[in-house]
Structure 1
Amino acid sequence: MRNRTVKAAVVVMAGALALAACGTNKTESGGAASCDVSKGTLVIGTISPLSGNLSAVGLGIEHSADLAVAQANEKCTVKGYKLSLDGEDDQATPQTGAQAATKMSSDSNVVGVVGTLNSSVAQTVQPILSGKKIPMVSPANTNPSLTQGKDPANEKRQFDNYFRVCTTDTFQGPYAADYLVKTAGKKKIAIIQDGKTYGLGLSQAVADRVTKDGGQVVDKEQVGENDTDFSGVLTKVKATSPDAIFYGGEYPAAGPLSKQAAGLGLNVPVMGGDGIFDPKFIALGGKEGDLATSVGAPADQLQSAAQFIKDYAAKSYKEPYASYGAFAYDAANVIIASLAKTLGDSGTWSDTQRDALIKNIQSYSGTGATGPISFDQYGDSTNKVLTVYQVSSGDWKPVKSGSAES
């Protein structure tokens, strides 16, 4: 409570100011100029795993999008509106992701969605959001079929509302294979994958390039994403005497697989894509010398990401921004900037604006935390930068970074 000795005149003045603020529907945000939010609230959604094995990555996506929304509100970016974030947990499963997308598509105030993490979840989410013309900008999906269809010989855009700010496995797979065969000198590669959309697609891209590079795929095996005992598969792999193992999947299985491989005397590096690039891979058993590719360059080495990293730290989120935080921040800002362009200084949001919003995202061009951002005719990122990391002294260290070619 206020001190009762405060002078009446001060109390009256404070009340008058409060009434004036209510009457004009303006808010003060972080010391910035007053924002007119008289037209209401519009929602940016996120769909990512907020619980389960991949929650560390999913929460980094949600928090980073939240940061973008908070900054837009401070700057009064969308005239007449306040933005809010709706973070939905897809539990890294397609069915739950579909439920989250259905919920968001029923809300006319949802203007766009940042997500998903998993390509398999994206496959169920895409048609649901497309039906309501809600733009979806993924920070992490890398399977090429999400944009160009399942037939590489007959590329056809699947959904005009779908975009991504990361590159795809069309580039990531060859980049990984080139490093293994040409740089690391690993000629005999065993491939293990988890059967999911991401793991299967990435592994095939790696296999194709290994052969093209003059290497040999000595074995191909499949495991379940929730498997914990890989002894049977690894015994088969060991019989082929590989120089390296490529794992198509994510870190919850990849870490234990690497540990068990070493336990069986398979003293070769395990390599994966961006799905294993997380500190938890090492905590779960990833060993010295293991490798991973990931989209973009290391955020902490990018001048363009310095302010994002500083601002994220200032918000004191409990979880780190993780592998895709900078990409999620950029994805949210693409939606926000395109929304501001769509509405201008005096426009009013309605479903009739959705086509224009999608068109403005398609034509977006700018620089984000991850570097230059724009989209090709499929909605794919034109930024093809990838990085190879290696486990060294218990941490991921970048060993090669550059723009990839398919």
Structure 2
Amino acid sequence: MLILTTVLTTGALTLTACGSRDDNANSSGGGDNQTVVIGVDAPLTGDLSALGLGIKNSADLAVQTANKDKTVPGVTFEIQALDDQAQPSVGQQNAQKFIGNKDVLGVVGPLNSGVAQSMQKPFTDAKLTQVSPANTGTELTQGNNWKSGDKQRPYAAYFRTSTTDAIQGAFAANYLFKNANIKDVYLIDDQKPYGAGLASSFKTTFTELGGKIVGADHINPDDRDFNSVVTKVKSSGAKAVYYGGEYPAGAPLSQQLKDSVKIPLMGGDGMYSADFIKLNKKSEGDIATSVGKPVEELESAKKFIADYKTAGYKDAYEAYGGSTYDAAWSIIEAVKSVVADNDGKLPDDARTKVLDAMKTVKFDGVTGPVSYDEYGDTTNTMMTAYQVTGGKWTSKLSEAVK
């Protein structure tokens, strides 16, 4: 399989155990400059590339800012961006490429929870820090038995700046039942880890609240003809559809649904993209939840938004721009701590030290205060519900979920 790669560098890399060193002294006059590479894994081509390119650009902006401000004296950051095509098998191959590049001290990504599952073990075995700005599958941080209360962190190298499906699904159920006043829902998922997990979480809370699941079905995310399931939805008497999946299938599903019965489709952060509206001529009234507050409403995000515009990226930062910047900055902060504790230089066991430092990373980021709990989950549980109004996503409710 051809793997498309995009490698953004500011100079040739010379591989060493802890980072590249230039022969020239740095501008402060002391010691050699060292290069640290931050890997970026995301779908840079294909149906989900709008989200993936926003991730790549936002990580690049964090690196450019760190270099400009000399956030870590004596260290120049670069990114190595690889295209996982939203495929677990490709993500696993990319993980080995990052591991093989000794300059890589941390990786931002991936977008998809299913891809993350293929990367977690090799990264943990290599003690290479991974921070996803988008994964919400609860089992990624709390293990497969989290539903029974038996929470165990399976992979020590994995962190994320997005909250979990357990939180997102519950928030979505509460919003639809209490705020939208919808009590009868048809449940659909795409059978992938993200979509199935989100739908399951939604169902649990929605039924606890007194809501009724009037029907349930699965679809193939590669399909674009959903008339058979739409027929079932129509006959069920549902007042809304909750879809666990992503916008490439969610958009045509919504449009075909409204051709038959005019009820809203609701989904999670995998739906919250401008491309959902572009692909769906009948998206008006549809609902999506996403992690955090809209960056446009955050005082902490003003500089990020302005800098992104100034940088001239041709692709929007999309849903995960702020959380990606914070994911990359977490790695930068960890590197900064390690260098400061080692007389201004990277130690030979830099990967291990950076991973250790991640446990205590804490800073004010684009999305607000950034830190991680004992599972590697973000401590920021803010969620927002959006609705398509006048042809664009409009925030309706933001709140922290306990």
Q: How many residues align?
A: 377
Query: Residue deviations 1:328-370, cap 9 Å, x none?
Result: 0011011001101011173443552323211211111111000
Residue among 110, 126, 130 paired with 2:120: 126
Q: Output aligned runs, 1:119-198, within 5 Å.
A: 119-152=113-146, 153=148, 154-198=150-194
Note closer, same or farther for the CA distance 1:129–1:240 as it changes in structure 2 (3 Å cut).
same
Query: Residue deviations 1:275-315, cap 9 Å, x none?
Result: 00011111111521100000000001100000000001110
Note closer, same or farther for the CA distance 1:36–1:308 as it changes in structure 2 (3 Å cut).
farther
Q: 1 CA distance for matches of 2:31 and 2:278?
A: 46
Unpaired stretches in structure 1, ≥5 consecutive residues: 1-21, 28-33
Query: Residue deviations 1:29-87, cap 9 Å, x none?
Result: xxxxx687824321000000100011111011111111111111112222322111101
State the SS of the aligned residue for 1:239. Answer: helix
Unpaired stretches in structure 2, ≥5 consecutive residues: 1-21
Q: 2 CA distance for matches of 1:36 and 1:117?
A: 40
Structure 2 residue aligned with 1:288: 284
Note closer, same or farther for the CA distance 1:204–1:218 as it changes in structure 2 (3 Å cut).
same
Structure 2 residue aligned with 1:313: 309
Q: Output aligned runs, 1:4-403, within 5 Å.
A: 24-26=24-26, 38-152=32-146, 153=148, 154-264=150-260, 266-285=261-280, 286-344=282-340, 346-350=343-347, 352-403=349-400
Note if contact 2:63-2:78 (Cα within 8 Å) is conserved in structure 1.
Answer: yes
Query: Residue deviations 1:102-133, cap 9 Å, x none?
Result: 10011111000000100000000111111110
Paired amino acid for 2:246: E
Q: 1 CA distance for matches of 2:112 and 2:392?
A: 24
Query: Residue deviations 1:353-390, cap 9 Å, x none?
Result: 32321121111111100001111110001100000000
Of residues 73-82 and 331-340 in structure 1, the stretch that sits farther from structure 2 once superposed is: 73-82
Q: 2 CA distance for matches of 1:386 and 1:220?
A: 25
Q: 2 CA distance for matches of 1:124 and 1:397?
A: 34
Please report the RMSD computed on the Cα atoms of aligned residues, expressed in angstroms: 1.5
Of residues 34-43 and 349-358 in structure 1, the stretch that sits farther from structure 2 once superposed is: 34-43
Paired amino acid for 1:89: D
Task: List structure 1 runs of 4+ shifted beyond 6 angstroms.
Answer: none
TM-score by length of 1: 0.90
Q: 1 CA distance for matches of 2:31 and 2:159?
A: 28
Paired amino acid for 2:160: R
Of residues 60-69 and 349-358 in structure 1, the stretch that sits farther from structure 2 once superposed is: 349-358
Q: 1 CA distance for matches of 2:80 and 2:136?
A: 24
TM-score by length of 2: 0.91
Of residues 352-361 and 297-306 in structure 1, the stretch that sits farther from structure 2 once superposed is: 352-361
Larger Rg, first or second structure (1 or 2): 1
State the SS of the aligned residue for 1:47. Answer: strand
Note closer, same or farther for the CA distance 1:387–1:350 as it changes in structure 2 (3 Å cut).
same
Structure 1 residue aligned with 2:5: none
State the SS of the aligned residue for 1:108. Answer: coil
